Chain A
Amino acid sequence: MSAAGGVKDETILEVRDLRTHFFLRRGVVKAVDGVSFTLRRGEVLGLVGESGCGKSVTALSLMRLLPKGGARAIGGEVLLDGTDILTLGDSQMREIRGRKISMILQDPQTSLNPVFTVGDQLRESIFRRAGGRTAQIMREAVAALRRVDIAAPEQRIGQYPHQMSGGMKQRVVGAIVMSGEPEVLIADEPTTALDVTIQLQYLKLLQRLQRETGMAILFITHDFGVVARLCDRVAVMYAGRIVECGPVQEVFEHPSHPYTQALIASVPAMTGPIGRLTTIEGQPPSLMDLSAGCRFEPRCRHAEARCREAYPPPVGVGPDHTADCWRLQPA
C-alpha cells in the first residue's frame, strides 16, 4: 500500500480524548466524545463509520473550524508535531492552517467560491505559501493544475467554478490544498459527491500525490471498500468514539469489535467494485442522550450486563490493533 520510505513510525498528529459537543437549546449533542488516534508521517489512516457518527466534526475540530453556534471542543488534546493546537491563539492557528494541516471538503460543488476564477483561488494559496511575483505565481498555478491532471490548465485557470464538472472542481480543490504543501491532509469523503466512474480516478490521484509528497492523510469515508484500496491503517468510528483501530489488513482479517464485524460483513467483496455499507439492524443512538455504557450495546448480538454499565477500555487484540469491547478483556 501507500508507503513513503521508512518514516512510518514517527507520529505527526496525535489526538487524545477529543471531545467536541454542540451546546444547543434543546440539549447537548456529543458529536465527538472521547476520540483518540495517532497519525504517522507518510501514512494514510482511514476514519470510517456511518453517516452522523462524528467524522466531519472530528475533522473540523482538528482544523479548529467548527461551525458557529454552540460547537466547542471541550476537552482533549490535538498534538500536531508536538504542539497542542487546541491551545493556540487564532492567529497562530491560522499560520498552521493550509501549511501544516489542510483539508478537502466533501462537496466540490460548494467548495469553490463561485465569483472568483479558479486561478484566483489557487493563487491565494500559492501566494500564502511562497509570496512572489504575479508571473511566477501564475506559472505555479498552471503547474499545480497540471499536477492534478487537469487538461489545458492555461485555459482552465481563467474559468469560473460553474464552468467545470464536479470531478474537475474537486481536482481544483486538490490543487489548491496541495499548493500549501501540507504535512497533514484531511480528506472528508472527497469522492462521495462524485460520479461513481470518476471516484476511482480521484482516489488514484490522491494516492499519487501522497506518494510524491509523503504527506500524512486522514481519509474519512463511510465506505469500507475505499479504505481497503487506499489506507494503511483504519479507525472505525461509532457514535462519537473510535471503537477499533489497526492496520487495514489486520482489521479486515480479524475484526474484533462487533460493530466492525458487522460493517465488514456488509461489504460485498473486498476485491470487487467499491462496496457500500449496507445497514446494520437497529439505529445508532442519539448523540444527545448517550448511556454510560458501550454505545453499540443496543444493537450488539453479544451484549451483556457489564456492557450497559461502563464504556469498555481499549484492548490490544493484535499487532498495533486495539478494540473497545468488554468481551475482549482478558478474564
Chain B
Amino acid sequence: MKRYILRRLLHGIVLLSMVATIVFFLGRLTGNPVDLMLPEDAAPEDRVALIKALGLDGPLHEQFFIFATNAFKGDLGMSIRMRQPAVEAFFSRLPNTLAIIPWAILLGTCIGIPLGVVSALNRGNILDRAAGTVGVLGIATPSFWLGILLIFVFSVELGWLPSGRMGGPEHYVLPVITLGTFLVAGFMRLTRSSMLEVMDSEFVKLARIKGLHEGVVIWKHCLRNALIPVLTLWGVFVGNLITGAIVVETVFAWPGVGRLTYEAVIYRDFPLLQAVIILKAILILTINLMVDILYAYVDPRIRLT
C-alpha cells in the first residue's frame, strides 16, 4: 500500500513538472509578456526597464531556471493587477471556491448514485427512461445557460433567491444547483451502467443462492463493486469542478478561484494566470491521489499490485 501511494505521488510530481514547463513555454511563445503589461503608448526605455526588472532579458533556459527555482520555493511571481504575489491571490480566493464545491459533490453523490441504482433496478421501464432523459439533459446543459436560467426564474421572476455574490446560506443554493446538476447526471449514468454490469455477475447469483435479502444483494454486493468505476469519475469530476467553476463563479459573481481565473484572462494578468494554472494542477493531482488511495480501499485487488 505504501509503495502504491509512493508511486502515485511520483507520478503526480512528474505530471506537475510537465504542466509547469508547458505553461512557462506557452507564455513565452505568445510573445514578450511585457507587451501585455504596459500600456500601448509606453516609452521604449520603460519597456527595457521592465524587461530587466522581470528578468526577461536573459536567454530562455536561464529564464526557465529562474522560474523553476522560484516555483520550487513557492514563488510564482507577482500579479500585475493586484500587486500581490500570485500565490497569495490564489489562496485568498480558494476558500470561497471550496465553500461551494463540497455541497455540489454532496448533491451529485447523494442524489446521482441512488438514482443510478434505482434506474438500474427498473431497467427499461418509465422510471428508468425518465431518469435517463434527465441525465442526458443534465450533462448536455451548459452551466452558464443553466445558471442564467436559474437566476432568471428564482431571482428575477420569483425573487426567492439572491442572484449572486457570497453571503448567507441562500446565496449558495443556485450556484450549488448549477454545479451539481452535471454531477447528478454524470454519477447517475455511470452508476446505472456499472450496476447493470455487476448485477449480471456470478457472485451476485451466489449471494442470491445464499438466500440473502434483495436489499443486501443490491446495496452491499452490487453497489460496492459498481462504485469502483464511479470513484474514478469522482476524481475526474472534482478536478473538473475546480476548473469548471470558472463559468459558474462568473455567472454568480462568486469570488472564488474560478472567477480569479476569468479575471486573470480578461485583464491579461499573465503571471497570475500562470500561477492559477499551476496551483490548480497541484490541487487536482492531490485530489486524484486521494481518490487513488480511496480506490485501493474499495477495491482490494489493487492493494497488492
- Give Cα A122–Cα B266 distance, bound, in whole angstroms: 62
Q: Are A128 and B212 in contact (CB under 8 A)?
A: yes
Decide yes or no: A98 and B209 within 8 Å by CB, A67-B200, A110-B201, A115-B224 being known contacts: yes
Among all A-B residue pairs, the 9 with the closest Cβ atoms = A98-B211, A110-B202, A97-B211, A113-B203, A160-B300, A98-B210, A125-B210, A162-B301, A103-B209
Decide yes or no: A95 and B225 within 8 Å by CB, A105-B202, A110-B201, A160-B300 being known contacts: no
Does B298 have its Cβ within 8 Å of any Cβ on chain A? yes
Q: Are A115 and B206 in contact (CB under 8 A)?
A: no
Q: Are B300 and A112 in contact (CB under 8 A)?
A: no
Does A14 have its Cβ within 8 Å of any Cβ on chain B? no
Contacts of B214 in A (CB 8 A): 90, 94
- Give Cα A140–Cα B202 distance, bound, in whole angstroms: 25
Contacts of B211 in A (CB 8 A): 94-99, 125, 128, 180
Chain B 179-213 interface 0/1 with A at a Cβ cutoff of 8 Å (1 = within): 00000000000000000000111110111111111
Contacts of A63 in B (CB 8 A): 208-209
Decide yes or no: A94 and B213 within 8 Å by CB, A110-B201, A115-B299, A160-B300 being known contacts: yes
Chain B 151-164 interface 0/1 with A at a Cβ cutoff of 8 Å (1 = within): 00000000000000
Contacts of B208 in A (CB 8 A): 63, 65, 94, 97
Q: What would 25 A/B residue contacts be, using CB atoms closer than 8 Å?
A: A67-B200, A96-B211, A97-B209, A97-B210, A97-B211, A98-B212, A102-B210, A103-B209, A105-B202, A105-B205, A110-B201, A111-B203, A113-B206, A113-B207, A114-B225, A115-B228, A115-B300, A124-B216, A125-B211, A128-B212, A160-B300, A162-B304, A163-B304, A173-B206, A180-B211
Chain A 68-109 interface 0/1 with B at a Cβ cutoff of 8 Å (1 = within): 100000000000000000000010001111110011010100
- Give Cα A111–Cα B210 distance, bound, in whole angstroms: 12
- Give Cα A114–Cα B207 distance, bound, in whole angstroms: 12
Contacts of A173 in B (CB 8 A): 206
Decide yes or no: A107 and B202 within 8 Å by CB, A94-B211, A128-B212 being known contacts: yes
- Give Cα A111–Cα B221 distance, bound, in whole angstroms: 12
Q: Are B210 and A128 in contact (CB under 8 A)?
A: yes
Q: Are B206 and A111 in contact (CB under 8 A)?
A: yes
Does A177 have its Cβ within 8 Å of any Cβ on chain B? yes
Q: Are A177 and B212 in contact (CB under 8 A)?
A: no
Q: Are B206 and A176 in contact (CB under 8 A)?
A: yes
**Chain A: minimal CB distance from B80 (Å):** 52
Contacts of A99 in B (CB 8 A): 211
Q: Which of A143-178 contact B (CB under 8 A)?
A: 160, 162-163, 173, 176-177
Q: Which of B217-269 contact A (CB under 8 A)?
A: 221, 224-225, 228
- Give Cα A158–Cα B202 distance, bound, in whole angstroms: 21
Contacts of A115 in B (CB 8 A): 224-225, 228, 298-300
- Give Cα A263–Cα B99 distance, bound, in whole angstroms: 72
Q: Are A177 and B209 in contact (CB under 8 A)?
A: yes
Q: Are A124 and B212 in contact (CB under 8 A)?
A: yes
- Give Cα A111–Cα B208 distance, bound, in whole angstroms: 11
- Give Cα A67–Cα B202 distance, bound, in whole angstroms: 11
- Give Cα A96–Cα B211 distance, bound, in whole angstroms: 7
Closest B-chain residue to A120, C-beta based?
B220
Q: Are A65 and B207 in contact (CB under 8 A)?
A: no
Contacts of B216 in A (CB 8 A): 124
**Chain A: minimal CB distance from B99 (Å):** 34
**Chain A: minimal CB distance from B208 (Å):** 6
Closest A-chain residue to B228, C-beta based?
A115
Q: Are B202 and A111 in contact (CB under 8 A)?
A: yes
Known contacts A115-B225, A177-B210, then 8 further A-B pairs from the complex at CB < 8 Å, ordered by chain A residue: A94-B208, A96-B211, A97-B208, A105-B206, A107-B202, A115-B228, A124-B212, A125-B210
Decide yes or no: A113 and B209 within 8 Å by CB, A107-B202, A160-B301 being known contacts: no
Closest A-chain residue to B199, C-beta based?
A68
Closest A-chain residue to B206, C-beta based?
A111
Q: Of A94, A113, A114, which is in contact with the most chain B CB atoms at under 10 Å from its CB?
A: A113
Contacts of A94 in B (CB 8 A): 208, 211, 213-214
**Chain A: minimal CB distance from B57 (Å):** 59
- Give Cα A113–Cα B203 distance, bound, in whole angstroms: 5
Q: Which of A185-227 contact B (CB under 8 A)?
A: none
- Give Cα A68–Cα B216 distance, bound, in whole angstroms: 19
Contacts of A180 in B (CB 8 A): 210-211
**Chain B: minimal CB distance from A259 (Å):** 30
- Give Cα A114–Cα B213 distance, bound, in whole angstroms: 19
Contacts of A125 in B (CB 8 A): 210-211
Contacts of A105 in B (CB 8 A): 202, 205-206, 209
Chain A 116-151 interface 0/1 with B at a Cβ cutoff of 8 Å (1 = within): 100000001100100000000000000000000000
**Chain A: minimal CB distance from B299 (Å):** 6
Closest B-chain residue to A90, C-beta based?
B214
Contacts of B203 in A (CB 8 A): 110-114
**Chain B: minimal CB distance from A124 (Å):** 6
Cβ-neighbour of B225 out of A96, A113, A160, A163 (below 8 A): A113
Chain A 24-56 interface 0/1 with B at a Cβ cutoff of 8 Å (1 = within): 000000000000000000000000000000000
- Give Cα A95–Cα B212 distance, bound, in whole angstroms: 9
- Give Cα A107–Cα B199 distance, bound, in whole angstroms: 16
- Give Cα A94–Cα B216 distance, bound, in whole angstroms: 12
- Give Cα A198–Cα B190 distance, bound, in whole angstroms: 40
Q: Are B212 and A102 in contact (CB under 8 A)?
A: no
Contacts of B298 in A (CB 8 A): 115
Closest A-chain residue to B299, C-beta based?
A115
Contacts of B212 in A (CB 8 A): 98, 124, 128
Q: Are B209 and A65 in contact (CB under 8 A)?
A: yes
